[in-house]
Structure 1
Amino acid sequence: MDRRQISRLAHADHPIAAPLADPTVERLLERAVTDRARVLDLGCGQATWLRRALALRPGAVAEGVDTDGAALELGRAAAEELGVADRLVLHEVDAAAFRAPHRFDTVLSVGATHAFGGLPATLAAARDHLAPGGRVLIGDAFWEREPGAATLEALDAVPEDFADLATTVDRVVADGWTPVFGHVSTLQEWDDYEWNWTGALERWALDHPGDPGAEPARAAAAEHRDAWLKGYRGTLGFVTLLLRPTTAP
């Protein structure tokens, strides 16, 4: 069972692949997406953000980019069920290599900055796709407090991988962006996300005892749970920022 299949199973009960509650997602989308917007999600997975945006804004159209073809197929099927498939186009391509013949009113990348090698590079890519007057909704991690050895080991990280919240926002502003809204995920949102992540895998393994993937799924859930509870819980934070360019693209 590969990493992508593990991720698809783990997000069965929490399709938003970030520590954000449903009301938070709704509030962010209400501010980020207007009714006639053209929306792009860089690293869209199963296009959960885009499907929710299209359901919220009947006049919007959307495109998503991801390298996981199986996730994109699930997204297309879910869009059909929701009745928004005619306004959604999904591309199986590396987000960093994606090019479009038009620009977008809203560019999303929440929990997918790894696809570009970090927050600054993700913002640079978003700017390349952004129409004049457009908005970027981006989510990334930060340190709630100075990480100790257990946190760094659990995340296979070094302290320089993230900054504290104030420094993170300062760097975004220095890069030419103005935050017009934001949300810092609460501990409850984190816990809900992690219990769903590990629980969905454990449940699948229990329901498929004869499947060769059952043991790898349980092992992945246990490893993730240990990393969370014994490593980064309360130390790793997550901030989602709604940004506009301080100067025109």
Structure 2
Amino acid sequence: MTETDLPPRLTRLTFLGPLSEARAARIVGRLAGAAPTRVLDLGCGWGELMLRVLEAVPGASGTGIDLSAPDLARGRANAGARGLGDRVEFIEKSAAGTDHGPADLVLSIGAGHALGDAAPPHHIAEALAVLRRSVAPGGRVLFAEGFWQRSPTAAELAAMWPGARADEHHDLAGLVDLAVAAGFRPSWIETAGDDEWEDFESGYQSDVEEWLAAHPGHPLARETRERVDRHRTSWLRGYRGVLGMAYLTLVPVD
């Protein structure tokens, strides 16, 4: 079996999270306005937002850290195609307890769980402590993390990921409070909209859904179909309209 026999991987997604082009442009503009010279992306995936910051700040350099070799390869290819290959490094390793700071700009986009070993919801405080250590004085942190938009019902929890609990996430106010307690001031607070979530969830599944339609008899079709059906059910019957994504631009307190 060759790679061409397998479903494509996330080719319909620009960002590995619910983030629109318009919001990304606004975030990059704000972050680039602080003129960072060094950018650190923890749990970077393919590091699209980091690459856009580097494009907006000539001379800045970036480091992306993640455990996914395919995502890192995509990031390197994208960087090379955009003339950024000599300004960015993608490293395959755990971001937990990273020693790659301090940086003028630190990104953690939906990757708080990758910054330590604490179980939810305690991983948030642990992640914020890592981010506080990793940002240089006067720098910025973009912390994108999930929160409950409202308390999930028992039926919604049962439809989510295995072992989902109501205490797994904070609400938005609680998330911001933790950032303040970790030594930050929230310069900007924004959250993903329903359209961003729908674009992300549809894009997350689209490659595989079309592959399944074209390869119903493939040896991996049954296993793949069960996996994507579980994920779709988890979204539509579980966390749709319940789980939010906050994008917090944080400034460290001197």
| Secondary structure at the counterpart of residue 65 of structure 2 | strand
Distance 1:91-1:8 versus aligned 2 partners, 3 A rule: farther
Which of the residues 230, 238, 242 maps onto 2:237? 230
Mapped to 2, the partners of 1:197 and 1:63 lie a distance apart of 25
* Distance apart, 1:135 and its partner CA: 0.6
Give the match for residue 185 of structure 1. 192
Amino acid at match of 1:87: R
**Residue deviations 1:44-81, cap 9 Å, x none?**
11122222222222222100001112221221112111
What's the counterpart of residue 64 of structure 2?
Answer: 64
- Residue equivalent to 1:3: none
Q: Would you say the 8 A contact 2:8–2:207 is kept in 1?
A: no
SS in structure 2 opposite 1:85? coil
Shift of 1:207: 4.6
1:242 corresponds to: 249
Aligned length: 240
CA contact (8 A) 1:179 1:244 kept: yes
What does 1:156-175 align with in structure 2 at a 5 Å threshold?
A: 156-175=163-182
Counterpart check, 1:109 vs 2:108:
yes
The aligned counterpart of 2:143 is 138
- Kindly provide the amino acid, as one letter, of the partner of residue 234 in structure 1: G
What amino acid is aligned across from residue 19 of structure 1 in structure 2?
P
Match of 1:24? Answer: 23
Query: What TM-score does the superposition give when structure 2 sets the normalisation length?
Result: 0.87
Paired residue type of 1:147: P
Q: What residue is the counterpart of 2:81 in the other structure?
A: 81
CA contact (8 A) 1:151 1:231 kept: yes
Partner deviation per Cα, 1:80-139 (whole Å, 9 max, x = no partner): 111111100111111014323x52000000101111342211111112221110110001
Deviation, 1:15, is: 2.8
After superposition, the C-alpha distances for 1:213-243 in whole angstroms (9 at most, x for unaligned) are 4443333221111111111111111111000
**Higher helix proportion, which one?**
1
Distance in 2, matches of 1:158 and 1:7, equals 31
d(CA) in 2 for partners of 1:210 and 1:51? 39
Which ranges of structure 2 fall in alignment gaps of 5 or more residues?
1-5
Q: Is the Cα contact below 8 Å between 1:205 and 1:213 reproduced in 2? A: no
Matched to 2:135, the amino acid is: L
Match of 1:147 among 145, 152, 157: 152
Identity of aligned residues (%): 38
Please, which moves more after superposition, 27-36 or 78-87?
A: 27-36
Task: Report the equivalent of 2:3.
Answer: none
Q: Give the RMSD, CA atoms, in angstroms.
A: 2.1
C-alpha contact (below 8 Å) 2:63/2:89 kept by paired residues: yes
Contact 1:36 1:59 in 2 (8 A): no
Q: Distance in 2 between matches of 1:88 and 1:207?
A: 38
Alpha-carbon distance between aligned partners in 2 of 1:56 and 1:212, rounded to the nearest angstrom: 46
Instruction: Calculate the TM-score normalised by the size of structure 1.
Output: 0.88
Instruction: For residue 207 of structure 2, give the secondary structure of its aligned residue in structure 1.
Output: helix
- Looking at structure 2, the residues matched to 35 and 127 of structure 1 have their Cα atoms a distance apart, in angstroms, of 19
- Once residues 31 and 229 of structure 2 are traced to their aligned partners in structure 1, the CA distance between those partners, rounded to angstroms, is 36
Letter in 2 for 1:120: A
Please, which runs of 5 or more residues in structure 1 have no aligned partner?
1-5
Supply the distance in 2 between the matched residues of 1:8 and 1:125 (Cα, whole angstroms).
34
Structure 1 residues 97 and 171 mapped into 2: Cα distance closer, same or farther (>3 Å)? closer
Aligned residue for 1:86, secondary structure, equals coil
